[in-house]
């Protein structure tokens, strides 16, 4: 059952309060009325409301002053306020909107119009809340509950302000790029570009032009000048992921860049000065590669000025559950589903698992669990093959089960706001109503 939205109506005319209470209850709202603005402010200190309907002209306090009290309170500023005003006071209502009111409506009240404005205000408030959640989630620098990761974070804090070159090592999926981004964010270059390139993901014949750029006519197809990624990162940070995959001939050229702080695009006879901080990362043992002649010793020492080794997830179990909870928030917001929580069984699974794929594997596993878990409890996270988690039944039967579960979750999330459900799902309002009727889904 979707929870009714709570509305506080404030008006010194008790007859209007009675009428509005009766009318708005018909639309499914939970109504509280208050004839005193001071008592209403007091009520707001200990009761929660989703929306406030406020008369502009009140004997104790003007509507604008009331709104200023609301918007200046960190605990109340999120509540949308709709002003009720007489025709002659529209200018005051517009002024109230400048102070933070969501909208205004003129008396006598058209309740269908008012209900539409209320829905818009509640939807806007819901979207603001989602944006705030996103900001809170993505403002987190790094999950560090284990002693090892706390030491790394402290180390980053100390070395980030300088331009010293950093080499990050660790198994695939441990979060090397996350650490590189944090170093950049904490540095004096934070407002300049952070450019990342995976040296192992680009064919050898293209890697040089990607790094150094080229001039028009340098080779067939070079119809214009092109900046390389090193130049794109000028003033900022260049992150060279999987540096162990860099071919020997390009290692020589990269070493020259590090020594001379300049680059020469392919086909050019002129060098360009650059100001770039270099951070490299690898899951390979570069010292062993140096011994085997696969990686230049001089380049290794140039890169390994400040080494940071990130331990695998299985060696820092204190981070597993906090990371899982972070990913649950992230993917519940991404897929527009109510937030879920881990059961004791799921937590035990997380702690007992080996995590050969490290944080990346945990992220993907939580994403799958969020998508396929009905309800708000995740009891099984170790679902590697989704097909094995179901009994195989006829296609139409499985399709109908998915449709019903998806629609139920969608409508609960949107508080049965069909317009919002339509936008999220990509289905028309008519299609949603048809499916509601088909599966007998009611508010």
Question: What's 394-434 look like in SS3?
Answer: CHHHHHHHHHHHHHHHHHHHCCCCHHHHHHHHCCCHHHHHH
Whole-model pTM: value is: 0.61
The two three-digit tokens of residue 233, written as one number? 């990162």
Q: Tokens 């994403």 map to which residue?
A: 367
Those residues whose C-beta lies under 8 Å from the C-beta of residue 396, and which sit 6 or more positions away, are: none
pLDDT of residue 132: 67
pLDDT more than 70, % of the chain? 93
Q: What is the pLDDT of residue 437?
A: 85
pLDDT band at 135 (very low <50, low <70, confident <90, very high): low
Whether the pLDDT of residue 6 is over 70: the answer is yes
- Please state which of the ranges 54-68, 76-90, 129-143, 154-168 shows the lowest mean pLDDT: 129-143
Q: 287: Cβ–Cβ under 8 A, 6 or more apart, which residues?
A: 300
Across the range 146-160, mean pLDDT stands at: 94
pLDDT of amino acid 419? 84
Question: According to the model, what pLDDT value does residue 138 have?
Answer: 57
Greatest mean pLDDT among 74-78, 215-219, 424-428:
215-219
Which residue shows structure tokens 């794109």?
232
Q: Which pLDDT band, with edges at 50, 70 and 90, does 395 fall under?
A: low
Residue 148, both tokens? 């090892």
Average pLDDT over residues 279-284: 96
* 387 has pLDDT over 60: no
In this structure, are residues 390 and 203 in contact, taking their beta carbons and an 8 Å threshold?
no
The pLDDT, as a whole number, for residue 266 is 92
Pick the range with the lowest mean pLDDT from 66-70, 132-136, 369-373: 132-136
pLDDT of residue 237: 97
Contacts with 440 (C-beta within 8 Å, 6 or more apart), sequence order: none
pLDDT bucket at 151, cuts 50 / 70 / 90: very high
Q: What's the rounded mean pLDDT across residues 420-434?
A: 83
CA atoms of 14 and 376, how far apart (whole Å): 42
Cα 329 to chain centroid, rounded: 9
Mean pLDDT over the full length of the chain: 88
Number of CB atoms found within 10 A of residue 213's CB: 23
Is the pLDDT at 19 greater than 90, yes or no? yes
Highest mean pLDDT among 93-107, 301-315, 379-393: 301-315
Residue 165 confidence (pLDDT) above 80: yes
- Please name the helix (run of DSSP H) or strand (run of DSSP E) that holds residue 6, with its range, or none: strand 6-10
Percent residues over pLDDT 90 in the chain: 57
Quote the pLDDT of residue 2.
45
């Amino acid at each position: 059952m979707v929870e009714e939205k709570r509305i506080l109506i404030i008006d010194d005319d008790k007859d209007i309060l009675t009428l509005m209470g009766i009318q708005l209850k018909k639309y499914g709202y939970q109504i509280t009325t208050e004839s005193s603005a001071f008592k209403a402010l007091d009520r707001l200190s200990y009761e929660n409301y989703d929306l406030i309907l406020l008369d502009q002209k009140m004997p104790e306090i003007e509507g604008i002053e009331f709104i200023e009290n609301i918007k200046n309170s960190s605990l109340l500023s999120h509540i949308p306020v709709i002003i009720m005003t007489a025709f002659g006071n529209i200018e005051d209502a517009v002024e109230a909107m400048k102070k933070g009111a969501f909208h205004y409506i003129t008396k006598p009240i058209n309740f269908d119009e008012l209900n539409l404005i209320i829905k818009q205000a509640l939807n806007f408030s819901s979207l603001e809340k989602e944006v705030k959640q996103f900001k809170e989630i993505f403002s987190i620098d790094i999950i560090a509950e284990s002693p090892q990761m706390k030491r790394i974070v402290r180390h980053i804090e100390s070395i980030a302000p300088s331009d010293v070159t950093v080499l990050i090592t660790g198994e695939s999926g441990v979060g090397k790029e996350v650490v590189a981004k944090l170093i950049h964010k904490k540095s004096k270059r934070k407002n300049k570009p952070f450019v990342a390139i995976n040296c192992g993901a680009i064919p050898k014949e293209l890697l040089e032009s990607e790094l150094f750029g080229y001039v028009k006519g340098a080779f067939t197809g070079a119809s214009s000048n092109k900046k390389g990624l090193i130049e794109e990162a000028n003033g900022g940070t260049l992150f060279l992921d999987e540096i162990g995959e860099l071919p020997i001939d390009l290692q020589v050229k990269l070493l020259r860049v590090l020594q001379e702080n300049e680059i020469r695009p392919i086909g050019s006879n002129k060098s360009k000065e650059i100001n770039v901080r270099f951070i490299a990362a690898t899951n390979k043992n570069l010292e062993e590669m140096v011994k085997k002649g696969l990686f230049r010793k001089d380049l290794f020492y140039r890169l390994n000025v400040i080494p940071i080794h990130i331990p695998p997830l299985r060696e820092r179990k204190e981070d597993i559950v906090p990371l899982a909870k972070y990913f649950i928030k992230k993917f519940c917001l991404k897929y527009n589903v109510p937030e879920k929580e881990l059961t004791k069984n799921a937590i035990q699974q997380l702690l007992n698992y080996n995590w050969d794929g490290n944080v990346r594997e945990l992220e993907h596993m939580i994403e799958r669990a969020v998508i396929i878990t009905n309800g708000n409890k995740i009891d099984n996270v170790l679902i590697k093959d989704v097909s094995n988690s179901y009994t195989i039944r006829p296609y139409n039967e499985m399709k109908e089960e998915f449709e019903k579960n998806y629609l139920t979750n969608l409508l609960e999330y949107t508080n049965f706001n069909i317009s919002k459900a339509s936008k999220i799902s990509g289905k028309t309002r008519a299609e949603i109503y048809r499916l509601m009727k088909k599966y007998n889904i009611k508010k």
